[in-house]
Chain A
Amino acid sequence: MTDNAVTHQQVIAAAASPAPTVAGTGQRRASASGTPFTRALGIATIIAMAVLLLFGLFLSPADVVQGESVRILYIHVGTVWVAYVAFGMTAISSAAFLWKRTTSLTWDRIAGASAEVGVLFMALTLFAGALWGRLAWGKFWVWDARVTTTAFLFISYIGYLAVRGLGGSHQQRGRRSAVVALLAVLEIPLVHFSVKLWRGLHQDSSVADTTHVKLHDLMLFSLFLALVAFTLLYAWLVIHRQRVMAMQDALDDKGLDYALQQRRREGDL
């Protein structure tokens, strides 16, 4: 693997040295996985989230039918959008990993990082949906087609993360989990079209249906803002998680060599 171009002595020297510091100040560096780009992305995410908070909670109007509970939907729609994007990215990265010309572990790490973030956002989608359902339907949970298939999708990706945690080499982990990812992503069309395939409580898309539903401009803007803010957050989280995974993999590869070198050094003393 080309990632392992350092000597054992360098690894030992780095492991023995203190945590990275800002030159001349003795202070620890703010982030070990950050770059100017991710810092700019982080600031953009914080600003977008703050504006979403402002519009979602205060500036957008209450709905004629749903009342104030419509404010939950800005979170619900934003988080489920990111979960779909995350699982889609997991599938694309997994396919790239399995394809012979691009079988780099970076693809596997992007797939894993994206799935992990997607699972968090899917959990938040289910939580927000349960609270909204209690207000709109009188129940936290109903065995509606959309709700049930979404829960099934959530459990499938928890399974995907469990498969990633199984033993074996990084290449084995990548191949095994890529196959699971390519199977799990087939559930997304089922979840999305479940409201059309089966009669249920969950509403169909409100934004696309312009003949029956007319959204207030501020509501539409708040929804759009939620999509942008959560997409920025997703990008920031996946970049950092992927880098953490890369460092963990590098450490796994060199951990045994490092331990052996350390034992030899102890023996020389």
Chain B
Amino acid sequence: MDDIGFILATYIATFAGSVLLATYYLRRARRLAAQLPPEDKPWI
């Protein structure tokens, strides 16, 4: 299977990119939430 490198690169880039973005959002949310009162977080 000669194409394996290209296929794996596609899947790894997609999944890693998604996980990195999700992690970034969660970390940023945690940092900002620590500085705000509950009234500014109506979803909680």
Contacts and interface: CB of A to CB of B under 8 A. Distances in A.
Interface size on B, as a range, is 20 to 34
Nearest to B25: A240
A201 B19 CA distance: 32
B34 A243 contact: no
A5 B39 contact: yes
Interface in A111-150: 117, 120, 123-124, 127-128, 131-132, 134-135
Contacts of A237: 18, 21-22, 25
Interface string A21-41: 000000011011111000000
Nearest to A131: B6
B17 A68 contact: no
A35 B33 CA distance: 14
Interface of B: 1, 3-4, 6-7, 9-11, 13-15, 17-18, 21-22, 25-26, 28-30, 32-41, 43-44
Contacts of B13: 124, 127-128
B3 A68 contact: yes
B21 A32 contact: no
Given A67-B3, A79-B14, A11 B36 contact: yes
Contact of A244 (B3, B29, B35): B29
A33 B26 contact: yes
A259 interface: no
A239 B19 CA distance: 15
B36 A28 contact: no
A120 B21 CA distance: 9
Contacts of B9: 131
B22 to A, nearest CB: 6
A15 interface: yes
Interface string A226-257: 00000001001100110110111011000000
Given A32-B32, A124-B17, A128-B14, A69 B6 contact: yes
Contacts of B18: 120, 233, 237
B25 A247 contact: no
Given A75-B14, A124-B13, A240-B22, A33 B33 contact: yes
B29 A10 contact: no
